[in-house]
Amino acid sequence: MNKQLVRLAVASMVLLTALVVATTYWQSWAVAGLTDRQDNAIQQVAQLSIARGAIVGANGTTKFAVNKKKRVAGQTFYTRRYPQAGLLAQVVGYSTSGGTRTGLEQSLNDYLTGANTNLSNAFQSTLDRLGGGTVHGNRVDLTIRPVAQRIALRDLAGRCGAVVAMNPQTGAIYVMASSPTYDQNLISQPNGYAKILKIRGQCGDASALVNNATAGLYTPGSTFKLVTTAAALDTGTYTPNSRFYDPGYCVEYGKKVYNSSAPDSPSAHETFGNVNLSQALQHSINAVYCKIGMHLGAKTILDYAKRFGFYSTPPLETPSSERGPSGLYAYVNGRQRLYWPKDFNAVDAGRLAFGQERMEATPLQMLLVAATIANGGVVPRPYLVQRIVGPDGSVVSSTRPQTLGRAIKEQTAQEETQMMVSVVQGGTGGAAAIPGVQVAGKTGTAETSQNHVYNAWFVAFAPADNPRVAVAVVVEKQPNGFGGSIAAPIAKDVMEALLGG
């Protein structure tokens, strides 16, 4: 009988060992998958009992996200509040008690809840938990300058669009405003989400929840001439003094492509006659760029666009689903799809050269173009988070400026800078001029599907000799609204605020 007893004992041990194995599975391998599930009621409450870290502006005093303490049934819960309602809504995003998160609240959730893998941090939060105390998350210090951010949003008010500004030498984002915006505090209110969905600017289907600066696709129009100019100069095909004759139009596929109409007489098309490349940029002459585009070819232009960051999603701390790449877009099955041409002859290089022809760009991408020229031809890596500070005040991580590689030669960047200065001094961008500061800029007035309704663009940086700020502005669907009249003044306001501060 003893042999059977031993076997039965072994069988019992196998059963109990299976329990140890199963427990190990659920408490280690399965944890990540279970934690993210929407129906995880335990996790929802556990998240509520964590004091999420604050999200703070570059001045250290403007708080974009804080906690509200609440005691329910003997337990302390923390809910999120957004004191700067709507000021940086799409970037900061929101975090609900139901576990839905967007923006930095989503992508930095591990840091904000103190769950990041940093050893001393993990140790501290384990101690907090074991001691029965509250787990405190890390504070996130942004590079955002609240004063300039507020000015940008004020200037956009009532219209749709975006303003992005950065330090071109470091990549630190100073301003990232998207309009229309929404009050994140609405999310936790009854019917709040429905109310947010109802917010519309004057631009139809635009949602307040979308970060136009990183996910909004706009035809770049003449601001794209900066890329074409970079290709023209960098390849050595042209110099700023290359001569052109402008008859007022350019012939493509046997058809005349006209210059844009003069601001003072919308019916007549501008004609400039003999000009050089610098003047062509200064006055944004489509006919000249059309010729350059046909000469360079679509492939060269798109290759240079790629060097500036087109065709890849610019890196940033926000969730990648809230950012998008720029480039040529085609409608496939009713959806906009990015494509790289298989046959470059099928791309209208002349229209591409002045930023039409299915070219779509995010404001952040156009900012990177301006910032690259300002930064001597090297693309700065954009970032929003300056540092992450632990609950004990120690710095958990700190962002060091990085680059995304060289796009153009330094000489090309210098020549282009001078050309952009001329745009503001006596060109289409005069409205961006700041007394005592040399501003380099470029206007853009992109055609939309409606006649005489434009997307107004302006990209700029200043001071031209030692750029400390670069900015990109887009204002959607402006009837007879030009980049120089609508967007340039906003860029000026934002740059002034940033240079003054």
Partner 1 sequence: MGFASVYMSLKAQLSSGSLGYAVFFFGLYLVAHVVARFAVPQADPYLLPIAGLLTAVGLTEIYRLGPRDAFRQGFWIVIGVAVFAVALFALRRDYRALEAYKYLWGIGAIVLLFLPLVPGFGEQINGARLWVHVGSLQFQPGELGKIALIVFLAAYLREKREVLAQGRLKDWGPLLVIWGGAMLVLFATDDLGSALLYYGIFLGMLYVATARLAFVAGALGLFLVGAVAVYQGTPHVRDRVLNWIHPWTTHKIYCPTSGGLAFRQDCQSYQEVQSLYSIAHGGFGGTGLGSGTFTTATGHQVIPDLNTDFIYSALAQELGLVGAAALLLVYMGFTLRGFRIALAASDGFSKLLAAGLSFGFALQTFVIVGGILRVIPLTGITLPFVSYGGSSIVSNFLVVAGLMLVSHRANREPT
Among positions 37-76, residues that touch partner 1 (CB under 8 A) are: 37, 39-46, 48-49, 72-73, 75
How far apart are CB 18 and partner 1 at their closest, in Å?
6
Nearer to partner 1, 17 or 345 (CB): 17
Q: Which stretch binds partner 1 (CB under 8 A): 123-131, 259-267, 272-280, 442-450?
A: 123-131
x/- map, 92-111, partner 1, by CB under 8 A? -----x--------------
- Of 8 and 268, CB closest to partner 1: 8
* Binding residues with partner 1: total (CB under 8 A): 50
Nearer to partner 1, 45 or 262 (CB): 45
- The single residue among 60, 131, 158, 254 that binds partner 1, judged by CB under 8 A, is 131
Q: Which is nearer to partner 1, 16 or 332 (CB)?
A: 16
Judged by beta carbon, residue 20 or residue 194, the one nearer partner 1 is 20
Answer yes or no: are the C-beta atoms of 43 and 35 closer than 8 Å: yes
Query: Which one, 4 or 267, has the nearer CB to partner 1?
Result: 4
Q: Which long-range contacts (CB under 8 A, 24 or more apart) does 192-198 make?
A: none
Cβ at position 108, least distance to partner 1 in Å: 21
Helix segments in 329-394, DSSP class H:
349-353, 363-374
Cα–Cα distance list, 127 to 32, 78, 131, 389 (Å): 21, 19, 6, 18
Minimum gap (Å) between residue 391 Cβ and partner 1: 17
CB burial of residue 132 (10 Å; 0-12, 13-18, 19+): exposed
| Helices vs. strands in the chain: H and E counts, helices first | 18, 22
Quote the least distance from Cβ 76 to partner 1, whole Å: 11
Environment class of 142 (CB within 10 Å of its CB; exposed 0-12, middle 13-18, buried 19+): buried
Q: Which residue lies nearer to partner 1 by CB, 127 or 262?
A: 127
Kindly tell me which of 2 and 333 has the beta carbon lying closer to partner 1: 2
DSSP state, residue 143: -
* Phi, psi (rounded to 5 degrees) for 163: -130, 125
Q: Given candidates 119, 130, 194, 332, which one binds partner 1 under the rule CB under 8 A?
A: 130
CB of 67 to partner 1, least distance (A): 14
Among 5, 194, 332, 346, binds partner 1 (CB under 8 A): 5
Q: How far is the CB of 158 from partner 1 (least distance, A)?
A: 38
Tokens (6 digits) for 251: 């012939």
Single out the residue of 63, 81, 129, 468 in contact with partner 1 (rule: CB under 8 A): 129
Site string for partner 1, 12-41 (x = CB under 8 A): xx-xxxxxx-xxxxxxx-xx--xx-x-xxx
The minimum distance between CB 390 and partner 1, in angstroms, equals: 20
Residue 32: CB minimum distance to partner 1, A: 9
Terminal CA-CA length for the chain: 90
Distance of CA 360 to the CA centre of its chain: 14
Binding mask 74-93 for partner 1 (x = CB under 8 A): -x-x----------------
Taking the least distance from each CB to partner 1, the nearer of 9 and 268 is: 9
Give dist(CA 366, CA 224) in Å, integer. 8
Per-residue CA distances from 157 to 86, 161, 163, 226 (Å): 12, 9, 12, 28
Task: Pick the closest to residue 310 from 346, 278, 341 (CA basis).
Answer: 341
Per DSSP, the residues of 154-205 read HHHTTS-EEEEEE-TTT-BEEEEEEES---GGGGGSTTHHHHHHH---SSTT
Applying CB under 8 A, does 330 fall inside the site for partner 1? no
CA distances from 215 to 94, 319, 362, 441 (A): 17, 11, 6, 23
Q: 119 in helix, strand or coil? A: helix
Q: Which is nearer to partner 1, 100 or 397 (CB)?
A: 100
Three-state secondary-structure class, residue 211: coil
The residue within the footprint of partner 1, chosen from 60, 132, 273, 436 (CB under 8 A), is 132
With tokens 């890596």, the residue in question is 381
- Which residues lie near partner 1 (CB under 8 A)? 1-9, 11-13, 15-20, 22-28, 30-31, 34-35, 37, 39-46, 48-49, 72-73, 75, 77, 97, 126, 129-132
